[in-house]
Every structure is written in C-alpha cells, then in structure tokens.
Structure 1
C-alpha cells in the first residue's frame, strides 16, 4: 500500500487561498533544499550556509580519521605538558584510563595490560572515579567553569493523580512494607481437547486465516526486533485492528508484559486520542505467543519519509508547517506520558505513526522500552542515532532524553538525512561535536563511559581491530570532527525553527526544556504557516 500524497494542484490552490485571505498566515511553508557537493557548485552560487561548512554534502560522514599507534599517542600526550611525576608515566596513565572497556588485545604492553581492568560501568563510582582521565582539560579553571555553569529554571513536570486499571482480583492491589503489589489477568486462548507443543516456533501468518477464532488476517505489515505486526479484521465488532505477535522468547515475553502494563496505565489515565498515544484494545496468550491488539494506524514517519523522498516528482511532504504540527503533537504525547512519571526511552521516526496524511496527525507508539523515572535506569536505552549525550556518556538521565530524540527526529524529517549517523558511538559523538559543539566540562568529568571514547586531552579515539604491534602498541583511529552547525545542516532562514532545535539539542540536560516548556516556544505559534498549526 502506497499512501496518497496531496495533489500538487490541491496544495497550490490551498496556498493561493491562504495568500488571498488577510487572516491567513503570510509566510509560506518552506521545504528543505539539499546541499550540493562543493565540486559541483560555482563559488558565486555558494549560499551563506556553505561558508565555513566543512561538510562536502549531506552524505558526509562528519569527521576525518587520523591513524596513530599507541606509542605515538603517548609521545604526543607527553609533549603537551603533564603533571609532575614524569611525562612518560603520566602519558601511560592517560592511555590506561582511556582504553576501551571491552579491550581484549592488551597482551604485550604494560599500558594496555593495565587498561584491561574492569570497565567503567562495572567499577563502583567511589572506587575508580574516571574524572581523573580529564584532569588536564580545563583543570586550571575548573572551579570557575563550575561557578559559571548555567542552569535552566525548569518548571517541575505536572504530576497527575494517576489511576490504575482494575486487577479483577479480590486480593490485589495490596500494600506490604511500603510497596503496592498489583496484578492483571492474561487470557490464555486454546483449542479444547488438544495438548503439546506447536509444530513451529513461529506462529504461521496466512492471509484470511483467523487467529483465536476472532481476528482474521488481512495483511502482513512488517517485523521488528521481537515482534511481527499484521492488519486484522476483528470479527467481533467488524473493526480493523493491528495485531502485534511477540516472538516466542522469554525475554521478549517479559518485556511485552511490561508494555501491556504500561499501555493499560496510559490508556486509563486520559483520552489517548487527545494526547496522541496508542490505544490498546486487547491482549492474550495463544499458541505459545503473547499477542497485543491495538488501533490500526498508517505508515511510520521513517517509512513515509523514505517513500516521499523516492517519489521525486511530488511536492515535499515535510514542510516547516507540517513539522510544526508533528512537533506539537509529539510534545503533547510526551507531556502526557511524562506527567505519569514515565520516560518513553525509544522515541524515533519508526515509533511515530501517521493517523491522517491530509491533516498531518500522528501518534506515539511502542512503550516496550519505557520506564518509570524512579526505576533502576538501564544504561542501554534509546536507538543509537536518537540517544541523548547523558546516556552515551554514562550519566544519570531523566525524561529530557525524549526531548533530545525529538530534536533529532525533526532534523531528520526536514532534511531527509539522519542528523547523527551511527556507524559507531565514536562517529556519532564526532558529529555531535562538529554540529552542536564541545561537551560541557562537568559532563566529561562525571561520565562513566567517557574514558571509553575520549583521550585525556579530549580527542575521540577508536581502536582498530587486529593484533597490536609489539614495538608500537595498539593501532588507533583518532576521529577529528568536521566543523558545521545546525544552521548549516538545516539550510533554512527560519530563526525560530533553528532555535527550537537548538533548545531540544542542548548537550547539558539541565539546559534542555521539558515537554511543557518546549510547547511554549515561539516557533509553535499558531498561524505561522499556511499548512501548520
């Protein structure tokens, strides 16, 4: 199925009507104009966005690679001036602290051998403070940097009086030692007079077949890491639904039980259509598979963006006006989810689905990775290209990681290119450094994973696979970020849009707005664009 995009004549007619009526916005809704390679552009044709931009084009990786050996790096660090105690010893200590946590090729070098100690994530903070790896980075003015550190006066998130779905159990919910225990029923749908395992570990998906005597398969929609999705007709009420079939795996089963619990919690606390989140219809266990039934939506933003780019003869769908609509709706969903003390933890284009193409309505889905703010937060959350800096560096995080993800999503929809490409964590960090700027000092000194990616003087490094040279040590790549900016990557004169992205992509989470604060940004003002709010 290929979604219908508005006809050019209809779009032109709408814009013409908007220009004729004084109450309509005067500013047309722009779309992105790709960057052309410098070799294909005359110097006279260069725009203001191209000046001092080190990116060749939109496909540029965003960094240069310098190959170096361990001993060469140690020598360079020694010549930069080290604390008393000997340059060689200080340089060796530096490399020990910046070595990758999972290094397995350390034999033959004393510096590398010491680096094979447990990773930063495995060592208690009090036992091995990794901040010493960056003692030479701004050490003389560290106190001044801490005093000058700006802090956003954030409004505390609105906490609603949460409701919980009825357990249907006479005993639960019950409180014991300050902990409230609750439950929900899980129906097991089975065939009478039959036992034993299924013939296949995968539930067969055949068009027109009926699952659990109620849901008739209409179309296969796609698959994800731990589930498959099909469009079904609910024979009970003659309604089209989306069925998510969880793979037969214990870990996937447990994670999906969490998703059901959270969807029930989200659905009972407010109008899911008003708040732009997924509606849950049903869930049950059938033929060794957990099955979740939800409302049926359209394409996700990743697939739809890819489709519209491939159809070069159609007008771009993701104009500034439509991006304004999407941003407002996603912020509404995040504000609601955050008010329930939840973090989405996996916001990306694939998890924002279109509800209406013509009205540009979307909904946020997939709460399988979500967690409560009071949970023991995992260090492995968010898809890499949309992962917030505090998560990558191994710092405490909160609901503001979702705001970083939204900034990445809007930039990607606007340009058609992933803002922070994810060949590796180091390459992603290189693009962040080149586009956004240097990480604040206090983040670098507190991050548990900083020594896995940065040398003591703040250079990004990545070890080259293969055996180390006995004489020269490990072979390393130093990733040198190419200088650019959000303005140069977005290539637009809309100051409000650039500022909106800048706020969402603040490296310091304390400076990043909450969902409620972001909704008050001037770029989201109504009647700015003919196809916007």
Structure 2
C-alpha cells in the first residue's frame, strides 16, 4: 500500500481529520454535561445562553425566591398614532383617540379590568385593541370610541342594539351575530368589549389571490348571513354597513362566521341618516335618496356573495356617479317610481318627454356630470370582460381548487355549471333594483342554491 506522496503528507499535516473505516467512526462525540448545570422540565440540560434568555424568569427566581414575574412591569409600547398628548388632560391625541399602551389597562377597579395586549384596528369611530380580562384571563376585543359626543351617542346605540340582539333575539348565540360582553366608560371614552374573532372575509379573498371561492363555500357563508339577516329583519333592524370587512371568521379552522360592526345600525322607524353603506355595497334606493328599509342589507348581501365567488367587487364605483353608472350598465334603469321619488335623482339623471309625452329618465354623460359638479370624473376600470351578471359568473374560470382533481371531469363541469345557474338566479333575486320586489332573507333562504335542492329552472319566490 502506498503511504508516501504529496496527498499522504498533506493528510498527515491536516489536524482534526481521521480515517473513516466503518459506521462506528461516524457516531458523534457527545461531551458529558458539566457538573452543576440545571435541567428543564423535560429533563434537558440548560446552556448558560438559555438560562439567561428563555429561562430567565426561573434563573431570577433561583437567585431570589421572592421574585415573581408580572407582565404589567414590562415597558409600555405605544399603540396609538399620533401619540402626542393633546386633549383630555393628556390622555387623548389630536384626533380625540385615547392613547393606548401595551400592558396598560382599561376599566375600573370595581368592575372588570382589561390588560391591553395589541392593536387590532383603527377607524373613524376610534380604535379596537386585543385585551385580556384580568379576572377571567379571557382574551377579548375592546372598541375604544373617540372622545366626541357624536361617536359616543352612536356607539351607545350600538350597545342598545347588540344587547337587544344578544339577550332577546339570539340568547343562545346561534345566529352568527357578534356578542357584546361588557361596556364601560374609561377616562371619558366609551369602551365596548366583544368576543375575539379571526380574519374578515376580505382578508380571506385576498389570501386566495382574489381568485374567488367555490360555489359550495359561498353557499355556506350565504346561508349563515341569511340566518343573521332574518333575525335582524324580525327585530326590524337594519345593519346599514354590510360588507366583507364586517363579516369575520370565528377561527381559521372552520367556515363559521359572525356579522360585526353595528355602529351604523338603526331601527326601521329611525332611518334618519342618508349617507350610509360603504359605496361598493350601497343600494340603488340609498344612491337615489329614496326612503329605505331592511332591503338595503339584502342588496349588500347580493354584492358580497358575487364578490366572494369572483374574488373582485361587482360594482367598484370610484364615486356615487360611477357607482350608479356601473349598476345601470349591468342591471338596467331603476323603476320609474324610484327615479321620481329620489331626492338625488337629478344629480345623476336627466328627465325628458318621450314621443307620447311621458316623462322618462336617462343617465347623464360623464362629461355632463363632470361639468355640472365641477369634477373630473374618469371612466371606472373594467374588471370583467362581460357586461351581464350571468355572463360574468358563467365565464369565471373553473379553478382546480373548485373541483376534486387538478383537471375537472366533464361530470364535474356539468355539476359546477348547474350550481352556477342556481347561483345566478339567487343573486338576481338579491340584486333586484326594486326594493319592493327584492327578496327578504326569509324568502332567499328557501332558494335551491341555499337548500341544496336540484336546480330545475328560475325559482318562483314564495310570498311571506
């Protein structure tokens, strides 16, 4: 055997290497643990690094048996922006928002106290923070309302409505309506304590790359929303701001949902506000300035279920004029009585006499509307290749995740197209321009798309 030569000499000079003869030479060398080193609850020896980091609290306790860790002693990270004290003896910022810190607390010594953990969201009404009930240790969401009379009064109405819904209309928490746990005043701010929920449906659409959900999953969500809206309808309440952001999953592991944010809700006899509903989900009667009823929530529901299926909003108006233009382009003109009653009709439509002397209306051109309102209206972006709702839904791609295999079989395609035919009919009942003919939640719940009955053709609504 040759032992001389450059490679052999190099091997002899290289320290730290040894010849591998069999598997025994591949076994690791495990150094014995130094004497006196602590072990954790799993029986593993702790390195000095771990004793001074992840196990620091135990290390302190060994050094001082009197030591007890309290999260309230942690540094307080500010959660509110801007955070400069301006109003309310320095407790509020310039926007009258309460300046919130991590590990600060909300509540009173006599009542419930809530330890602030993190911020969940911010809006015109105020802020929502994740908190822990210091008595029960339950983690909740707390809405901290701005220190302004208008927001305070509106939020007190929200408390009244939720107490009615939770205690009388849905005492067993069966109808997908947000639960209010507590309410109190903290340094002039009304605070509402809610159950903690998960992501909203807009975030779900976004996580799915705006490709839309299956008809089956849309049906599951629609059935729950109709259940909630039935309870509201029977209580003669209107949500007034139904949209994907106000529908939350209970958890990421289940399609169970809850309707939230009753801050704009009202009783059918108290429809005093005219500027309601988020624009994409705003009903024709509200756009035209007509009196409105709970039917406006059903219009919003129609917009939501189509958006869940397509992944994109059906009427993404850039202004009220653009909104009504999109609706008219897809669904046609509103009924004559709505145009004649509407306080805002003349903003968007011109009236003229036809050849028989009858009064008619036509939508103003973009140039005319811009000139009259001193704006620069732009044609809205077109998200869809087709113009009618049936064509848009039928031509949406059948994604692999909408069928059981990577390529849908002809049987699955036929089944999907039958589901879509039923879905189109369901949506058209919700998106009826005439609120007097638009389906109520009780009627819509009987549609084959919701019940799962075989689709045989246009559904005749049953009077309620």
Q: TM-score category by the smaller chain?
A: 0.5 to 0.7
SS at match of 2:362: coil
Q: 1:434 — aligned with what?
A: 329
Q: Deviations over 1:422-460 (max 9, x none)?
A: 211111111111211222222222222111111225023
The correspondence for 1:507, drawn from 433, 436, 439, is 433
Pick closer, same or farther for the CA change 1:526–1:395 going to 2, 3 Å. Answer: same
The correspondence for 1:485, drawn from 378, 382, 388, is 388
Q: Which runs of 5+ in 2 are unaligned?
A: 1-87, 352-360, 397-416, 455-464
Pick closer, same or farther for the CA change 1:475–1:339 going to 2, 3 Å. Answer: closer
Shift of 1:302: 1.4
1:243 correspondence with 2:243: no
Q: 2:277 — aligned with what?
A: 382
Shift of 1:228: 0.8
State the TM-score, normalizing by the size of structure 2: 0.65
Q: 1:460 — aligned with what?
A: 364
Shift of 1:335: 0.4
Higher relative contact order, chain-length normalized (CA < 8 Å, sep 6+): 1
1:289 correspondence with 2:189: yes
Distance 1:521 1:406 in 2: 15
The correspondence for 1:406, drawn from 286, 291, 301, is 301
Number of matched pairs: 325
Pick closer, same or farther for the CA change 1:480–1:219 going to 2, 3 Å. Answer: closer
2:212 touches 2:310 (CA, 8 Å); kept in 1?
no
Pick closer, same or farther for the CA change 1:377–1:489 going to 2, 3 Å. Answer: farther
2:199 touches 2:252 (CA, 8 Å); kept in 1?
no
Pick closer, same or farther for the CA change 1:272–1:415 going to 2, 3 Å. Answer: farther
Q: How does 1:358-377 map to 2 (within 5 A)?
A: 358-377=253-272
2:271 touches 2:292 (CA, 8 Å); kept in 1?
no
Pick closer, same or farther for the CA change 1:271–1:420 going to 2, 3 Å. Answer: same
Q: Root-mean-square deviation (CA), in Å?
A: 2.8
Shift of 1:377: 3.3
Greater C-alpha Rg = 2
Shift of 1:398: 0.8
Q: 1:64 — aligned with what?
A: none
SS at match of 2:193: strand
1:272 touches 1:279 (CA, 8 Å); kept in 2?
no
1:226 correspondence with 2:122: no
Pick closer, same or farther for the CA change 1:441–1:299 going to 2, 3 Å. Answer: same
Q: Deviations over 1:58-103 (max 9, x none)?
A: xxxxxxxxxxxxxxxxxxxxxxxxxxxxxxxxxxxxxxxxxxxxxx
Pick closer, same or farther for the CA change 1:501–1:467 going to 2, 3 Å. Answer: closer
State the TM-score, normalizing by the size of structure 1: 0.57
1:343 touches 1:372 (CA, 8 Å); kept in 2?
yes
Distance 1:438 1:466 in 2: 21
Q: Deviations over 1:232-288 (max 9, x none)?
A: 111111111110011122211111111111111111112362011011111111112
Shift of 1:289: 1.1
Q: 1:18 — aligned with what?
A: none
Q: Which runs of 5+ in 1 are unaligned?
A: 1-195, 311-315, 529-533
